[in-house]
Structure 1
Amino acid sequence: MKKAAIATAITTLVSGSAFAAEVYNSDGNSLSIGGRAEFRGDFQGTSGGDKIDGTMQNNSRVRINVGGETQISNGFSGIAFYEAEQKVKSSGSNDKNDNFEQRYMWAGLSSDAGAVTFGRQDAATVQISQMTDTVTSHSGIQKTFIQAGDEQINNAIAYSGYFMDALSVKASFLLAEEENENGWALSGIYTLPMGLGLGLGYAANDNPGANAQDSTQVIGGVNYRLDGLYVGVGYTQGDGSKKFAGDNKFNSVEAVAQYRFESNFEAVLGYQKGEIDPDGLDKYSVSDYVEFTGVYYFNSTLRTYATYKLNNLKADSSQRTEDAENSLRLALRYDF
């Protein structure tokens, strides 16, 4: 296992782009810069299912990341990564957004045995949820149920290793600043030579307060890749979702199928349904939709896509005051 491969895999995972450009390399020190600029316009309904009173809600964003590596000795190096995101203000006013949101900020050590990183980063189970988090617009709810299984968590220590050219292992520890909020997570994905991947993960963290149960989560995923075809299915369940203040159970299923044609057009079909079952209250849905996406790649860095989301959330089954709206998203994305 090569330390450079580990560092590259981590950077690609958190940035969502494999096109970071090396801008400096001297005396064992290297620096890379990457990111994306993405126009995203929503019509009819927002991604959350609310009605758009006007013509379009603008959800455009830009991400910028910087990654560094310094060689300490043969097979041993220091690594660091930072990424920030700025979104356009989606309100009816023409106000500009002056704020950048911090997404990742970590530093660590990398060797042939793996990488250990410290800072704001993904929990170990996020690699399982990302087996289905490929839909262009709205996927990814499985990684947001509990704190210790979420992406971009503060006070995290993480280990990442890749073995036998097939097994990806991750472990993370949440060292919370507040009392009784520590957590941990562990996951692994084994990919068979035929292209079939099998993933399993577990996360747990304490919850403070007399009316809050401790959180636990089991998550599993299966994916398959063959030429232009990719299929992924994920399922998670557990106790103590942060989406509900009291004691509760939760579950979610997510599936995606996509095929990229030789014409550089990609068709994507996604499905997701997530439920919360509060103690003493009726079960309700937090997500329930089918999504159709068409993507055209002009080249390796520029793409355009259109997504239509059929939102099945009803007023009587999702703690909403009215049925959720369907949504059409048109977008243009440039990776650098």
Structure 2
Amino acid sequence: MNIKFITLAVASSIAFPVSAATVYKDSNTDFEIGGRVEGRANFSDANKTSSNSSTYEDMSRVRLNVQGKQEYNQDISFVGRYEFELTEQTDPASDDEVDINTRHMYVGAETSMGNLYYGHQNNAVTYLTDWTDMAETYSGYTNEYTVASADRAKNVIRYAITTPEGITFQADGNFNSDSQSDGYSVALAYEVNNLGVGVGYSASDQTYSWKTDPNLKHDSDTYYLTAKYSFEGFYGAALYQGGKIADSDFYAIDAFASYTFGDNMVDLSYNKYSADDYVILDIEFIAIEYARYMGNFAAYASYKFNLVDVASGYTSADYIGDNTDDELMLGVRYSF
């Protein structure tokens, strides 16, 4: 999920900024380092195996990012960013003690006419899906099945611009990315005061490991309609997606609501994904969460109520977007 560092200094601002420290700065260059250490304990029947009946699984992780920006002149600046995530290796057959996952690795140019980036980065439609992907744990599950709709992808060239009137436009293309994907996406949003509305579209031609023909490419496309609203300590957002996944019709709903009071936040999320021809893609749950933020430290508890019944002829392990069990996640995080 797209988990964010949250600053509660302004309760009405729900675009939570990422924590980072400036380690070098001169008249035209900034260099920053940021990250997090996050301990997470998950309790669910989904963690049981044939050889281990424990419901507990450690899901702790570490993230580190470095980013730099150089102002070349008044009209253009150059930027670069790298971020990776470390988790403990759980495969006993592996000689590695940690798994390393690259989250961002891109360079770009920022100008008064818009910004252009290339590398491993967000897709254009991520600007819209981020409006509902706001929970510490259980949100943002419905847009990850295709490379063009996922939060991030490899080999992406992306253009982005936001006008003083509150209009944001983004477009991207990805080339020979994960799953042999070629695709693109576009997003358009209008934000004024505490209200935002957005539309988007993404398409990809890619392989799917869960298909009986995993080396054959299939077309997929998605339409997006989303809105968000904030008032004092309240924030709410909803996202509807519809289209085709590997030539099958689908629809998806992602909704999120939160209330912030002091250093505390409570939130409620709902995710649903349904494809006509692929029951193993089904997702549906309601989740509740409480989080407390104390400077750079955060603690939270999240509970997911699963609403998917395992279809006849399938097992819980067959479902690939989410498991079919309730879950409890307890987490503590220090960000820097």
Deviations 1:104-147 (A, max 9, x none): 10001111222100111111111111111012112222321322
Cα distance in 2 for residues equivalent to 1:206 and 1:306 = 38
Alignment of 1:25-44 (within 5 A): 25-44=25-44
CA shift for structure 1 position 240: 2.5
Aligned residues of 2:316 and 2:324 also touching (Cα < 8 A):
no
> Judging changes above 3 Å, is the alpha-carbon distance between structure 1 residues 176 and 109 closer, same or farther for their aligned structure 2 residues?
same
Gaps of 5+ in 1: 1-15, 242-246
The percent of aligned pairs where both chains have the same amino acid is 25
Equivalent AA in structure 1 for residue 231 of structure 2? L
Aligned counterparts, 1:1-336, within 5 A: 17-46=17-46, 53-90=53-90, 97-176=97-176, 181-193=181-193, 195-207=194-206, 212-241=217-246, 247-262=247-262, 264-278=263-277, 286-299=282-295, 301-316=296-311, 319-321=314-316, 324-336=324-336
The 8 Å contact of residues 295 and 306 in structure 1, kept in 2 or not, is answered as yes
Q: Deviations over 1:38-87 (max 9, x none)?
A: 1110013459x989821520000011001101111113111011100001
Equivalent pair of 1:17/1:335 in contact (CA under 8 Å): no
SS in 2 for 1:147: coil
Amino acid of the residue matched to residue 303 of structure 1? A
Distance 2:18 2:122 in 1: 18
Q: Secondary structure at the match of 1:149?
A: coil
Cα distance in 1 for residues equivalent to 2:183 and 2:200: 14
Q: Is the 8 A contact 2:154 2:178 kept in 1?
A: no
CA distance in 1, matches of 2:74, 2:267: 43
Aligned-residue RMSD, C-alpha: 2.9
- 1:6 aligns to what? none
CA-CA distance at 1:163 after TM superposition: 0.6
The alignment partner of 2:98 has SS state of coil
In structure 2, runs of 5+ residues without a counterpart are: 1-15, 208-212, 318-322
Q: C-alpha displacement at 1:283, in angstroms?
A: 5.0
Secondary structure, counterpart of 1:128 in structure 2: helix
Q: In 2, distance between residues paired with 1:313 and 1:203?
A: 27
Cα distance, 1:277 vs. partner? 1.4
Distance 1:186 1:165 in 2: 19
Aligned residues of 2:225 and 2:240 also touching (Cα < 8 A): yes
Contact 1:308 1:329 in 2 (8 A): yes
Hey, what's the Cα distance between the residues in 1 that align with 2:89 and 2:72?
A: 44
CA contact (8 A) 2:33 2:65 kept: yes
1:277-332 deviation per Cα after TM superposition (whole angstroms, max 9, x unaligned): 12xxx756521111010111122x21100011111121127943589321111100
What is the TM-score with the length of structure 2 in the denominator? 0.83
Contact 2:250/2:274 (<8 A) preserved: yes
- SS for the counterpart of 1:275 is strand
Paired residues of 1:59 and 1:90 also in contact (CA < 8 A): no
Deviation at 1:26, TM superposition (A): 2.2
Q: CA, structure 1 residues 204+324, in 2 after alignment: closer, same or farther (shift >3 Å)?
A: closer
In 2: Cα distance, 1:221 partner to 1:56 partner? 36
Maintained 8 Å contact 1:84/1:101: yes
The residue type paired with residue 191 of structure 2 is: T
User: What is the identity, as a one-letter code, of the residue corresponding to 1:230?
Assistant: Y
How many residue pairs were aligned?
309
Using the size of structure 1 for normalisation, the TM-score is 0.83
Q: Write the distance in 1 (CA, Å) between the matches of 2:276 and 2:130.
A: 24
